[in-house]
Amino acid sequence: MMTAADPLLSVTGLTKRFPGVVALSDVSLSVGRGEVHALLGENGAGKSTLLKILSGAQAPDEGSIVFDGRPVTIHSPLAAQEMGIVTIYQEFNLVPHLTIAENVFIGREPRRGPFIQWRRMERETRAILERIGMPLDPRRTVRTLSVAEQQMVEIARALSMRSRLIIMDEPTSALSEAEVTKLMGIVRDLRAEGLSIIFVTHRLDEVMAICDRFTVLRDGRNAGAGAIADVTVDDIIRLMVGRDVEALFARRDDGPTEGAEALRVEHLSRHGDGRDPHAVVLDDISLVARRGEILGIAGLVGSGRTELARAIFGADPVDRGRIFIDGKQAWIRAPHHAIRLGIGLAPEDRKQQALFLALAIRANISMATLDRLSRGIFVSEKAELAQVEEFRKALNIRMASPEQRVALLSGGNQQKVVLARWLALRPKILIVDEPTRGIDVAAKAEVHQLLYDMARSGIAVIAISSELPEILTISDRIITMRAGRITGEILRRDATEEKLMRMMTLGDTAPAAAAE
Amino acid sequence: MTADALPAQRKQIDTIGLLGRFAPLIFLLVLMVAFWLAEPNFVKPLNLTNIVLQVSVTGLLAIGMTFVILTAGIDLSVGSLLAFAGLVGAAVAKGGLESRFAVGDVTEAAGYGWGLAMLAAIAVGVIGGTLQGLAITWLRVPPFVVTLGGMSVFRGAALLFSGGGPISGFSEGYTMWGKERLFRDLLGGVGLPVPALIFLGFAVIAFIVLRYTRYGRHVYAVGGNLEAARLSGLNVRFIITSVYVIMGFFAGLGAFVLSARLDSAEAVAGQGYELTVIASVVIGGTSLFGGQGSVVGTVIGALLIGVMLNGLQLNNVSSYIQQIVIGLVIVLAVAFDLFLKSRRKT
């Protein structure tokens, strides 16, 4: 294994066992000074455990850590921070009701006597935010920020601690392409200042674009490491999954776009969200989704794509507009109305919005179809288990038993459980919001395949994704959104990332839409 | 090195899991053995059945409270609602407040009988519970606040209704629901107290509902993840309202049983019951955060409290100290539960 000449962080022989499983086995990791280091691996490969050890949240069973030339033991998250190791987790550790400045300096507020020096705290926060090109008002409450902005607050906090090694866990999974580009710029600046960064991501294009070196874990062991310049994306995928994955993401053949109309939305509008009664959430949205096609919806975070999905599904109220299912006007004011009409929604946040983590896989899959699985008021356990078995096979869900708690599954298998819940309904229309967020490469390919199968079986699939390559791979037709409006429509075969980006950011009319 | 380390560790996770699941039961048995050794009379059938008799009213309430807490709710008003419902039921049995202390056949003549009295008590409970449920789901006031208000409202209503005094002296048909023992040939002629049979019977029904019905699944879903439940097409408002209705039903039924047992309904009845009831549920392992727990745990929790109080009484520990012990046990039970959960996760 290659190591940097004078590494900032050098981990050797790290082993961590949990009851019933060895999470890390003899793992090594070496991160140079001023280096952006990609830590890669499928879900369950051991990345999270390694991060937890480096951030002081867990103690290793064996192995040594050398930081800045000295052997160290990282007892606690506080100890890690004092050493200069700061971790930014996928789920942010921000207090929503406090301001940006309060969050940046939480627990370390500058004081004079017992009093917080507010002006100084705000001034320093503003300076850091400007340094990373994010001139936000430090007095805004974090609750009002977008996901991308919240992430910048996390980075600002890391910088305010004079950290030397920043660990970013899936920093881009919730960001739009433009925001990712911005984050990349910030990461480059930080590297130029001599900071080291460990970058954990599933997006290999980002790895190729920004990282200097990489370490791949597989099944809790080192699978490979080296300089990014020496490898290709395919090499890395091979190391991650342990086999060749050519054509893992084959585009499907151009699907039908002339199927019967399943869903028609006319002039859907919604003004005002919880914070701002005048905010334009959805503005005069009209669209058609046909049986057997995958309609992609592309847009930056905040463009209204998720809000559109929720409005169609009855999860959020709308002010105006009509929805037609199979040509008939539908009255949808709550999710159970939509479900009765054959619409399913796999929401963007699996854990918060879809899964019952304390319940068994069986109960999670059957939750939307209990009516069908019941005899009288009683749930038929037999019918329920038959359903689990059907979808375990069809979706290749890897589980110990139907009684296993869904919390114990990997992200990819959890997503399959969510999809199974909706497929069990035999829907006419299925909306999937970020169907592959935070799941590993192989599972992602499987989910794509599932979406193709659904479309082929006649379902109108509406897919939302922040990842343009994903939208371009899976969709037959693509609608772009910006600021609550539809800015264009384009057939997949005519679309490129550049065109979509222009439609999403500028609202340019696409050629295909103009022709119609 | 790892291969032979595995089986032992797998066993360890089972121990923790099982310990967590059966901790209340184990604790109950340990406690019983301890009291038995300290005072041999403890295990006499009469004493054991008395324990179940003593916890049967709070136990009934705890069954309802299990539904409420499974949805991540809470109901502080149970004691007050019980007092109010008991008085209304008693007044129906007496045909009004005029003959409130009359004893025997006089009451039969003036009143409407124990059947309507029971229905009236239950109706008051159900209506009270429905109002609170609707306030929670439609006015979006948190359960803690709604039922804190309800605690005061129903207590006030009880005092107002009764003018502060008790209603007592019921017919035999009425009091038999609290005093009678059935199956006299069992347990060496001791038999089983009717309230205990009502408590255990409804526990079985609640167990079946929560474990095997669609409705039960919905209750766990709403408590486990409200947003996911809504997006799965569950009518979450109906489900949340319904658990307070169920709670109200048990408050009404408990009120009737309690007044039958004491041969008296009073405006001050059920004071502090919310503590014992919530404690029974929580000691039984149901999570205050919702979505996890069972009626079996609640029954064990209720019995545990009963055994503890009975054992302390038999050993002549003052009732003041008993209060302190109950309070400490609640905190320790939750701490123990959280400790086991944290061990399981890592």
pLDDT tens track for B220-278 = 999 999 999 999 999 999 999 999 999 999 999 999 999 999 999 999 999 989 989 99
Give chain B's domain count: 1
Nearest to A359 among B9, B220, B227 (CB): B220
Backbone angles phi, psi at B61, to 5 degrees: -60, -35
Report how many Cβ contacts below 8 Å link chain A to chain B. 95
Looking at the domain assignment, is residue A422 inside a domain? no
A315 reaches B (C-beta below 8 A): yes
Q: B184 lies in which domain range?
A: 25-345
Q: State whether B5 and A371 contact (CB < 8 Å).
A: no
Burial label for A196, CB within 10 Å (0-12, 13-18, 19+), is buried
At residue B7, the pLDDT reads 38
Closest chain A residue by Cα to residue B222? A356
Within this chain, do residues A223 and A328 fall inside the same structural domain, yes or no? no
Looking at the domain assignment, is residue B2 inside a domain? no
Within this chain, do residues A345 and A213 fall inside the same structural domain, yes or no? no
**A-chain residues within 8 Å CB-CB of B213?**
374, 377-379
B4 reaches A (C-beta below 8 A): no
Mean pLDDT of all residues in A213-235: 89
A430 reaches B (C-beta below 8 A): no
Contact between residue B241 and residue B133 where contact means Cβ atoms under 8 Å apart: yes
Burial label for A117, CB within 10 Å (0-12, 13-18, 19+), is middle
Looking at the domain assignment, is residue A473 inside a domain? yes
Nearest to A352 among B213, B227, B229 (CB): B227
Within this chain, do residues A213 and A270 fall inside the same structural domain, yes or no? no
Looking at the domain assignment, is residue A225 inside a domain? yes
Looking at the domain assignment, is residue B4 inside a domain? no
Within this chain, do residues A229 and A308 fall inside the same structural domain, yes or no? no
**A-chain residues within 8 Å CB-CB of B232?**
335, 339, 354, 367-368, 421
3-state secondary structure of A376: coil
Looking at the domain assignment, is residue A265 inside a domain? yes
Within this chain, do residues A289 and A220 fall inside the same structural domain, yes or no? no
Within this chain, do residues A153 and A38 fall inside the same structural domain, yes or no? yes
Place of tokens 């854990």: A351
Q: Do the strands A165-169 and A196-200 form a parallel or antiparallel pair, or are they unpaired? A: parallel
Tell me, what CATH number does B241's domain have?
1.10.3470
Within this chain, do residues A132 and A89 fall inside the same structural domain, yes or no? yes
At residue B5, the pLDDT reads 35
**B-chain residues within 8 Å CB-CB of A20?**
6, 9-10, 13
Q: What is the DSSP string of A397-412?
A: ---S-TTSBGGGS-HH
Mean pLDDT of all residues in A357-372: 92
Query: Lowest-pLDDT range, A75-79, B84-88, B118-122, B199-203?
Result: A75-79
pLDDT digits (tens, 9 = 90+) for A85-109: 998 887 778 888 999 999 999 888 8
Within this chain, do residues A327 and A298 fall inside the same structural domain, yes or no? yes
Chain A residues 342-371 with a CB less than 8 Å from chain B: 345, 347, 352-359, 363, 367-368, 370-371
B10 reaches A (C-beta below 8 A): yes
Q: Assess whether pLDDT exceeds 70 at residue B11.
A: no
B230 reaches A (C-beta below 8 A): yes
Chain A residues 103-142 with a CB less than 8 Å from chain B: none
Closest chain A residue by Cα to residue B7? A20
Tell me, what CATH number does A290's domain have?
3.40.50.300
3-state secondary structure of B247: helix
Closest chain B residue by Cα to residue A57? B346
Nearest to B225 among A339, A356, A371 (CB): A356
Between B238 and A472, where is the model more confident? B238
Q: State whether A371 and B214 contact (CB < 8 Å).
A: yes
Give chain A's domain count: 2
Chain A residues 7-26 with a CB less than 8 Å from chain B: 17-20, 22, 25
Binned at pLDDT 50, 70 and 90, residue A515 comes out as very low
Binned at pLDDT 50, 70 and 90, residue A484 comes out as confident
Q: State whether B9 and A19 contact (CB < 8 Å).
A: yes
Most B CBs within 10 A among A351, A359, A425, hence the mutation to make, goes to A359
pLDDT digits (tens, 9 = 90+) for A165-187: 999 988 877 677 777 888 888 89
B315 reaches A (C-beta below 8 A): no
Contact between residue A48 and residue A202 where contact means Cβ atoms under 8 Å apart: no
Mean pLDDT of all residues in A383-396: 92
Q: State whether B224 and A20 contact (CB < 8 Å).
A: no
B51 reaches A (C-beta below 8 A): no
Contact between residue A24 and residue A11 where contact means Cβ atoms under 8 Å apart: no
Chain A residues 373-392 with a CB less than 8 Å from chain B: 374, 377-379, 381
Looking at the domain assignment, is residue B17 inside a domain? no
Looking at the domain assignment, is residue A510 inside a domain? yes
Looking at the domain assignment, is residue A376 inside a domain? no
B20 reaches A (C-beta below 8 A): no
Q: List, in sequence order, the alpha helices (H) in B191-318.
A: 194-212, 214-224, 226-231, 236-262, 273-283, 295-314
Binned at pLDDT 50, 70 and 90, residue B344 comes out as low
Binned at pLDDT 50, 70 and 90, residue A251 comes out as low
Within this chain, do residues A84 and A161 fall inside the same structural domain, yes or no? yes
Most B CBs within 10 A among A337, A361, A367, A404, hence the mutation to make, goes to A367
Rounded to a whole number, what is the distance in Å from the CA of A314 to chain B's nearest CA?
A: 9
Distance (Å, whole) CA A339 – CA A421: 12
Within this chain, do residues A216 and A281 fall inside the same structural domain, yes or no? no
Strands in A280-290's sheet, in edge-to-edge order, are A280-290, A261-271, A320-325, A328-330
Within this chain, do residues A234 and A307 fall inside the same structural domain, yes or no? no
Looking at the domain assignment, is residue B19 inside a domain? no
Query: Lowest-pLDDT range, A46-60, B73-87, B146-160?
Result: A46-60
Q: Assess whether pLDDT exceeds 90 at residue B94.
A: no
Per DSSP, what are the bridge partners of residue A379? A374
Looking at the domain assignment, is residue B82 inside a domain? yes
- The question of ipTM being above 0.85 is answered as no
Q: A501 lies in which domain range?
A: 261-352+428-515
